[in-house]
Amino acid sequence: MKTIHYAITLALLSHSYSMAQDGGISTEDVNLSIAGQRLNVSAGIILDKLSLGKDRQIFVTPVVRGDENREVTLPSLLVSGRNMHFAYQRGALKGFDAISAHDILAEVRRENGKPQKFEYLTSIPLQKWMRLENARLAFVYDSCGCGVDKGQIIMEEIPLRLNPAKEMRTAMMTPAVTELPVEIHEGKARVQFEVDRTELHAEPFTCRNGQKIDNREQLRMIDDSVSYALSDPNVEIAGISICGYASPESPYTHNDFLATNRSKALAEYLADRYSLPRERCSYSAVPENWKEFREQVLESKEISEAQRTDLLELIDRQAYGPSDYDAKEKELKTSPKFAQLYRTKILPEWFPRLRATTFAISTRLKPMSDRQLAEIIMTSPEKMSLNQMFRVARLYPEGSEEFNRTIDIALKHYPDDETANLNAAAAKINSGDYDAAKALLLKAGDSAEACNLHGIIATAEGNFEEAQEWFEKAGNLPEASKNTDLLK
């Protein structure tokens, strides 16, 4: 492990604090510095307003404090009245409890009514907790010699500020541009086609065999679904997917041809109707709709239980290719168990209901400016990509309430995304919540930006050597280089 030496000098106060106690004591020019593994403390202790009786003494004692009752008491300045000063000089006070209870740096006689300043300077071993953010320095006024626990603080406790974590720079990542989230609206229509034909008839049509086809109601169902999908003025159609289903009569390959091309015809019709590029309307097919045939058999109240059992056994028989499906259809037509039911019920009533078309309408946000997206994120964030959310965040000053709220929304909607977790961790560090940042970094990956954040957290925890290692892992990241300079 490397040995790293730090020399941080911070002028914490350029003005003085005072309190009305025996005329008052104040301090000025409180300075702290780290040299090697020692903490240097210097301050000007101003006695100008202190009026001290000739037979009295007071102790002014600096104390370094941290959380969890951590505390180090520094040597005291003993200020004496005239008589007590001479007694101290002669060594007459050595047996007194108040004197023996204090580590006295220096003793001075108070010249009442005269300006008087003592230049306090001492050095103590540096402890790890003193580098933490909550470490602070207090000057305690003790007029009874009872110790710092009984004394009064001369002024507000002063943060040591020996930890540079708050000055360190985070680096966020811009999320990759991805496809926008889509909302799916699904439905089913039974668009009719002429026997053995694939042309779509949108208007009433009479077939060669006299059959009348009227698809207006079914196409209106699709229109209604599209209208509902577009009820939000901020969205557009991302795509329409069509899947056509044929019934099991006729050879499998022929059914495949019919189902595929009928789906294609409907997809092209919808692309033209809604002025969509053809590639936004996709189509597929299920040559034989055995799945819904099975559901009909299960639900039917017009067949016996024996017929139901026989039909389900046939339907569930494993098929490995078109010839297997054709064999099942032939058995339906010719087997004594099914032939009459096939002619009277299955072919004329059940199979036509299997010739259906399912559709799925996908919608997404229209292209819009970042300012417009800032409004969308407050009402419909689920429609936005992570990249769009980050663009909105960048509209606000980093660390502002609006910025942090946007980063939190992004994390809520993309909780497992590494970039979302990284940026949320950086925001938490900037607000001083290192524990929350550490938890988020568990899902933030091992990018240079993530290593840099790990380094800042290690710094905040007083682990400077570990922090240096993290910054080195961040490579040439400019923020990590700046943070390394702060450590030095």
Q: Encoding tokens for residue 42?
A: 């210097």
The per-residue pLDDT for range 122-163, each reduced to its tens digit, is: 999 998 889 888 899 999 988 887 777 777 787 788 888 888
Q: Encoding tokens for residue 461?
A: 């925890």
CA distance 396 to 52: 57
At residue 18, does pLDDT exceed 70? no
Q: Please report, for residues 27, 119, 441, 466, the alpha-carbon distance to residue 3 in angstroms, rounded to integers and kept in the order given.
A: 35, 33, 27, 11
Contact 125, 108 (CB under 8 A): no
Closest CA to 298 of 312, 316, 285: 312
The per-residue pLDDT for range 394-443, each reduced to its tens digit, is: 999 999 999 999 999 999 999 999 999 999 999 999 999 999 999 999 99
Contact 154, 60 (CB under 8 A): yes
At residue 19, does pLDDT exceed 70? no
Burial bucket for residue 205 (CB in 10 Å: 0-12, 13-18, 19+): middle
CA distance 435 to 442: 12
At residue 94, does pLDDT exceed 70? yes
pLDDT of residue 15: 30
**Residue positions counted in the chain:** 488
Going by their DSSP bridges, the two strands 212-213 and 235-245 should be labelled as unpaired
Angle at 48 between CA 45 and CA 54, to 5 degrees: 100
CA distance 441 to 451: 9
pLDDT of residue 35: 84
Q: Which residues contact 224 (CB under 8 A, 6 or more apart)?
A: none
DSSP annotation string for 271-325 = HHHTT--GGGEEEEEESS-HHHHHHHHHH-SSS-HHHHHHHHHHHTS---SHHHH
pLDDT of residue 462: 86
At residue 219, does pLDDT exceed 80? yes
Confidence of residue 311 (pLDDT cuts 50, 70, 90): very high
Identity at 352, one-letter amino acid code: P
At residue 7, does pLDDT exceed 70? no
Q: Please report, for residues 315, 330, 344, 345, 349, the alpha-carbon distance to residue 300 in angstroms, rounded to integers and kept in the order given.
A: 15, 22, 14, 11, 12
In the beta sheet, which residues pair with residue 205? 213
Q: Encoding tokens for residue 287?
A: 């040559």
CA distance 242 to 263: 6
CA distance 294 to 344: 18
pLDDT of residue 22: 38
Closest CA to 125 of 34, 236, 14: 34
CA distance 457 to 435: 9
CA distance 458 to 417: 24
CA distance 4 to 471: 14
pLDDT of residue 382: 95
Confidence of residue 451 (pLDDT cuts 50, 70, 90): very high
In the beta sheet, which residues pair with residue 165? none
pLDDT of residue 269: 93
pLDDT of residue 12: 31
Confidence of residue 475 (pLDDT cuts 50, 70, 90): very high
DSSP annotation string for 91-155 = TTTTT-HHHHTS-EEEEEE--TTS--EEEEEEEEE--GGGGSTT-EEEEEEESSS--TTTSEESS
Q: Encoding tokens for residue 325?
A: 């499906």
